[in-house]
Structure 1
Amino acid sequence: MARPDLNLLVTLDVLLQEGSVTRAGERLALSPSAMSRALARLRRATGDPLLVRAGRGLVPTPRALELRDRVRGLVQEAEEVLRPAEKLDLATLERTFALRGSDGFVESFGPALVARVGREAPGVRLRFLRKTRKDATALRNGTVDLETGVIGHAPAPDVLSHPLFTDRFIGVVRGAHPLSTGKVTTARYASARHVHVSRRGLTAGLADEVLRPTGRRRHVVTVVDGFSAALALANASDLVATVPERHTAQLRQGMCSFELPFRVPEVTVSLLWHVRLDADPAHRWLRGCVLDVSRVDEQG
Structure 2
Amino acid sequence: MSEPDFNLLVALDALLAEGSVAGAARRTGLSTSAMSRTLGRLRATTGDPLLVRAGRQMVPTPHAQAIRERARDAVLEIRTLLSPAVSELDPSTLDRIFVIRANEGFVEAFGPGLIAAAASEAPRVSLHFAPKMEKDSRYLREGRVDLEIGVVENMGPEIRLQALFRDHFIGVVRAGHPLLSSPAVTAGQYASYGHVVASRRGRAHGPVDDALAELGLARKVASVVPGFPAALAVAMASDLIALLPASYLPAPPAGGKAGQAFGTFELPVPTQVITISQMWHPRLEMDPAHRWLRQLVRRTCGEGRADGD
Taking structure 1 as the reference length, the TM-score comes to: 0.70
2:294 aligns with: 287
Q: Give the distance between the partners of 1:168 and 1:218, measured in 2 at CA.
A: 19
Q: Give the distance between the partners of 1:248 and 1:120, measured in 2 at CA.
A: 26
1:160 aligns with: 160
Instruction: Out of 132-141 and 246-255, give the one that drifted further.
Output: 246-255
TM-superposed CA distance for 1:184, in Å, is 1.2
Equivalent residues of 1:139, 1:145 under 8 A apart: yes
Quick one: structure 1 residues 184 and 229, their matched pair in 2 at CA, closer, same or farther if it must change by over 3 Å?
same
- Larger-Rg structure: 1
Quick one: structure 1 residues 143 and 234, their matched pair in 2 at CA, closer, same or farther if it must change by over 3 Å?
same
Q: Decide which of 252, 266, 277 is 1:270's aligned counterpart.
A: 277
Matches within 5 A, 1:115-130: 115-130=116-131
Equivalent residues of 2:250, 2:304 under 8 A apart: no
2:303 maps to amino acid: V
Q: Give the distance between the partners of 2:220 and 2:111, measured in 1 at CA.
A: 34
2:13 aligns with: none
SS at match of 1:299: coil
SS at match of 1:115: helix
Q: Give the distance between the partners of 2:250 and 2:171, measured in 1 at CA.
A: 12
Equivalent residues of 1:174, 1:180 under 8 A apart: no
Is 1:254 the equivalent of 2:258?
Answer: no
1:181 maps to amino acid: S
Equivalent residues of 2:92, 2:123 under 8 A apart: yes
2:37 aligns with: none
The one-character-per-residue Cα deviations of 1:28-48 (angstroms, maximum 9, x if unpaired) are xxxxxxxxxxxxxxxxxxxxx
TM-superposed CA distance for 1:254, in Å, is 3.1
SS at match of 2:160: strand
Quick one: structure 1 residues 202 and 82, their matched pair in 2 at CA, closer, same or farther if it must change by over 3 Å?
closer
Q: Give the distance between the partners of 1:285 and 1:254, measured in 2 at CA.
A: 38
Q: Give the distance between the partners of 1:82 and 1:297, measured in 2 at CA.
A: 35
Is 1:110 the equivalent of 2:111?
Answer: yes
2:169 maps to amino acid: F
Q: Give the distance between the partners of 2:246 and 2:187, measured in 1 at CA.
A: 19
Matches within 5 A, 1:45-56: none
Is 1:211 the equivalent of 2:212?
Answer: yes
**How many aligned positions are there?**
225
Q: Give the distance between the partners of 2:189 and 2:151, measured in 1 at CA.
A: 29
In structure 1, list runs of 5 or more residues that go unmatched. Answer: 5-79
The one-character-per-residue Cα deviations of 1:10-56 (angstroms, maximum 9, x if unpaired) are xxxxxxxxxxxxxxxxxxxxxxxxxxxxxxxxxxxxxxxxxxxxxxx
Equivalent residues of 2:104, 2:131 under 8 A apart: yes
1:3 aligns with: 3
1:137 aligns with: 138
SS at match of 1:190: helix
SS at match of 1:91: helix
Q: In percent, how many aligned pairs have the same letter? A: 45
Runs of 4 or more, structure 1, over 2 Å off, are: 1-4, 80-86, 247-254
Q: Give the distance between the partners of 2:186 and 2:95, measured in 1 at CA.
A: 54
1:177 aligns with: 177
In structure 2, list runs of 5 or more residues that go unmatched. Answer: 5-80, 254-259
2:292 maps to amino acid: W
1:3 maps to amino acid: E
TM-superposed CA distance for 1:272, in Å, is 1.0
